[in-house]
Amino acid sequence: MKLQTQRFIDRWVGQALCSAVSAWVRVTGLFTAPARIGPAPRNILVILLSEMGSIVLAGPMFAQLRRQYPGAAIHILQLKKNQEVTKLLQLTAPEYMHSLDDSSGGSLVRDILAVSLKMRRMGLDAVIDCELFSRVSALLSFSTGAPVRVGFTPHTQEGLYRGSFINHAIPYNPYQHISKQFLSLVDALQASDHMPRNKAAPIRDVPAEPELSVVFTPEELATYRSKVEADHPVTRTRKLVLVYAGGGILPERAWPAAHYARVVQGLCAAGHAVGLIGLKDDAVLARDLKAQVGSDACLDLTGYTKSIRELLMLMHASRLLITNDGGPSHFATVTPIQTMVFFGPETGRLYGPLGQRTIILESGIACSPCLSAYNHRLTFCDGDNQCLKRIAPDPVLEQAMAFLRDGSATPA
């Protein structure tokens, strides 16, 4: 199903359904006590339908859930296309992973009904909705039958109505890193009252690390490194730098291709090998960059890795990743690779990768960031992303060379 179609249905059908459910909960709530989670819950569901990178940013939240409720089964509901990351990171047991197929409207409705029925039969103690202002995820939290429903509330924000049936709601804060806000959702499970009026939440810092890992044996990494060298002999004598120049589902997040070409040319001329990574859809962009660079040390690796696990092994075999905001920058945090990531339409202050091996590159132009939960991530720049175009390539190349030369990684 197209993204715009999903937004249309979520806005118009979702608001009507949220209003109806809110009225029902308001009436039935007159005869019931406020919902509270017990000291030893058995089943907690986390709804996380966002991009794959958000799964990594939610790592500290899952770690806190396991520490706080060691006896609980942590269930995860996400889109089917994102489930590979959850399995790789072993966020929960396979039998606790549930998915929705959004490839068509019919399959999505079918899976919503099936999952809701399954959750009701299981008997959830609580559900955590990690989506910001999605109506479908809010409705899912109600349809699962969980008595305690945690999620974000728009509070007094107009146009973001998603009902009033999230009974342990916290306000979305556009000034705090999303990983910190995910942790606040865990805190809200024990809240005795509606969180916007509860000032007793713990004081937390932005998590220093994602608290996630993917274990590889030395033999496994050595074998994969040998495969890369056999497939691309130039990497035997050159340090490998990875570049992800694609914008994914939001093309406005991409640094200009001409800027990437300038940096890749400089790296190849300095004796490094550069691998252009991405999905098969990024192959056209990779071919254009290779033609602009004109060096045998520039490698088209789009489609080369067959899974996220292989991508992580490729990162283990490389020294540096230069990337747009997106999944690769977050996956890199569970490997030793140093990362340089461009932000513009969104900001690293809210969505930057966790850990100490990431350099955030931003221009600071007045209209940046322009994508938010409040405008449904729709930009007004019409593709003319000056916030990224104004990040000049030569300082980026100089910074990349400094790291490859002596291992230093300081912000530009």
Supply the pTM of this predicted model: 0.93
- Candidate from 12-26, 67-81, 189-203, 365-379 with smallest mean pLDDT: 189-203
Structure tokens at 282: 């990024």
Q: What does the domain layout of the chain look like in residue ranges?
A: 3-197, 218-406
CATH topology of domain 3-197: Rossmann fold (3.40.50)
Res 199 pLDDT > 70: no
- Give 27's contacts (C-beta < 8 A, 6+ positions apart): none
Question: Average of pLDDT values for 310-328?
Answer: 97
* Domain made up of 218-406: CATH architecture: 3-Layer(aba) Sandwich (3.40)
* 274-290 pLDDT per residue, tens: 999 998 889 999 999 99
Length of the chain: 412
Res 221 pLDDT > 70: yes
Q: Per-residue confidence at 411, pLDDT binned at 50, 70, 90? A: very low
Dist. CA 358–CA 176, nearest whole Å: 18
Res 381 pLDDT > 70: yes
Fold agreement between 3-197 and 218-406: yes
Cis ω on the peptide bond leading into residue 369 (within 30° of 0)?
yes
According to the model, what pLDDT value does residue 412 have? 42
Percent of the chain with pLDDT over 90: 79
* 112-137 pLDDT per residue, tens: 999 999 999 999 999 999 999 899 99
* 45-101 pLDDT per residue, tens: 999 998 889 999 999 999 999 999 999 999 999 999 999 999 999 999 999 999 999
According to the model, what pLDDT value does residue 307 have? 95
Question: Average of pLDDT values for 348-364?
Answer: 95
Burial 326-346 (b: 16+ CB within 10 A, else e): bbbbbbbbbbebbbbbbbbbb
Q: What is the 3-state secondary structure (H, E, C) of the chain?
A: CCHHHHHHHHHHHHHHHHHHHHHHHHHHHHHCCCCCCCCCCCEEEEECCCCHHHHHHCHHHHHHHHHHCCCCEEEEEEEHHHHHHHHHHCCCCHHHEEEECCCCHHHHHHHHHHHHHHHHHHCCCEEEECCCCCHHHHHHHHHCCCCEEEEEECCCCCCCCCCCCCCEEEECCCCCCHHHHHHHHHHHCCCCCCHHHCCCCCCCCCCCCCCCCCCCCHHHHHHHHHHHHHHCHHHHCCCEEEEECCCCCCHHHCCCHHHHHHHHHHHHHCCCEEEECCCHHHHHHHHHHHHHHCCCCEEECCCCCCCHHHHHHHHHCCCEEEEECCHHHHHHHHCCCEEEEECCCCCHHHHCCCCCCEEEECCCCCCCCCCCHHHCCCCCCCCCCHHHHCCCHHHHHHHHHHHHHHCCCCCC
Is-contact 90 58, C-beta < 8 A?
no
Q: Is the dihedral of CA 93, 55, 46, 252 positive or negative?
A: negative
Res 195 pLDDT > 60: no
* 27-49 pLDDT per residue, tens: 998 778 888 898 899 999 999 99
